[in-house]
Amino acid sequence: MIHHLSGRFVELSPTHLVVECAGVGYMVHISLHTSSALAGQVEGKVLIHAVYREDAQLLFGFSEATERSLFVMLTSVSGVGAQTARMILSGLGPSELVQVISSGDVASLKAVKGIGAKTAQRILVDLQDKMGKDPAFGSALGGDFSGGAAKEFAGGDNTGRSDALGALCNLGFDRKRVETVLDQLAGEGVDTVEELVRAALKRI
């Protein structure tokens, strides 16, 4: 099992990272939170959780241990796969997700694309129980899990919109629908990649 990768960041987008280690490039799927945290870095360490399937071997990366722990917990919930867990952490982020879970905020979870009422309630029940038993989260409920302020991508031009469009399409959303939502958000003054993706995930 791969625990982490340390090396040069060959490519970084809102949805994936390519890390070169000893001449080998590893494709790593990441959330918007991790992408923002690593923005501007040319090398470093990323925590890994590997998902092995019959048709694929996928690596999911995280800039902090808290996000990886939440990802593992999310994927242990019935009906929540790795891609759904990544989408949840892109829409909410670790700190916000902890608050959502601790407060039993069903509405915030339902705002994430693909999460219905039953799944949201199942996530809250399962994760509240698991977090309550996990020493790492003992003081976490109500605590600060930001892991440092997230870095924003440069916005204010077409690059931010293009990156957000690519990220959302990579997550499986219809391109035309995404373009419509991004146009609406641009008119509202939302222009950084992080802001665009987070806001779009609540509207698509």
Fold of 65-137: DNA polymerase; domain 1 (1.10.150)
Fold of 4-62: OB fold (Dihydrolipoamide Acetyltransferase, E2P) (2.40.50)
| DSSP E strand boundaries for the chain | 4-12, 16-21, 24-30, 43-52, 57-62
Measured CA to CA, the distance from residue 52 to residue 74 in angstroms comes to: 16
Does residue 36 contact residue 24 with C-beta atoms inside 8 Å?
no
Tell me if 65-137 shares its fold with 158-201. no
Q: Which of 3-7, 71-75, 159-163 has the lowest mean pLDDT?
A: 159-163
Confidence of residue 130 (pLDDT cuts 50, 70, 90): confident
Confidence of residue 1 (pLDDT cuts 50, 70, 90): confident
Measured CA to CA, the distance from residue 43 to residue 46 in angstroms comes to: 10
CATH of 158-201, one of 1.10.20, 1.10.10, 1.20.140, 1.10.8: 1.10.8
SS3 57: strand
Whole-number percent of the chain with pLDDT over 90: 40
> For the chain, what is the mean pLDDT?
82
pTM summary value:
0.71
Does residue 61 contact residue 28 with C-beta atoms inside 8 Å?
yes
pLDDT at 204 over 80: no
Alpha-carbon dihedral angle through residues 103, 152, 81, 20, given to the nearest 10 degrees: -140
What are the residue ranges spanned by the domains of the chain? 4-62, 65-137, 158-201
pLDDT at 155 over 60: no
Q: For residue 169, what are the contacts with CB-CB under 8 A and spacing of at least 6?
A: 175, 178
Distances (CA, A) of 88 to 24, 32, 91, 131, 152: 30, 10, 5, 17, 19
pLDDT in tens, 131-150: 766 656 654 444 433 333 33
SS3 108: helix
Interval 39-54 mean pLDDT: 93
Expressed in angstroms, the distance from the first to the final Cα of the chain is 35
Q: Does 128 or 153 have the greater pLDDT score?
A: 128
Shortest CA distance to 105 belongs to which of 95, 96, 94, 113? 96
Shortest CA distance to 7 belongs to which of 33, 29, 27? 27
pLDDT in tens, 79-108: 899 999 999 999 888 889 988 988 889 999
pLDDT at 31 over 90: yes
pLDDT at 33 over 70: yes
Q: For residue 186, what are the contacts with CB-CB under 8 A and spacing of at least 6?
A: 161, 196
pLDDT at 24 over 90: yes
